[in-house]
Amino acid sequence: MSERNPRLAWELTRFDRLIKSSHLPYVSDVAVACGTTSKETYRNMLMKLHKFTRPVADAIISHRPTLNQLMTSYAQVGDQRERERLFEQVMVQRHSKAGQSSKAMNISLSKRLHKTTFGLNPYAFVGPDTTSGTHQ
Each residue of 5-24: pLDDT tens digit? 555 555 556 656 655 555 55
> What structural domains does the chain harbor?
27-117 (1.10.150.670)
Each residue of 72-113: pLDDT tens digit? 999 999 898 999 999 999 999 887 777 888 888 889 899 999
CA distances from 78 to 32, 56, 71, 109 (A): 31, 25, 13, 20
The reported pTM is 0.67
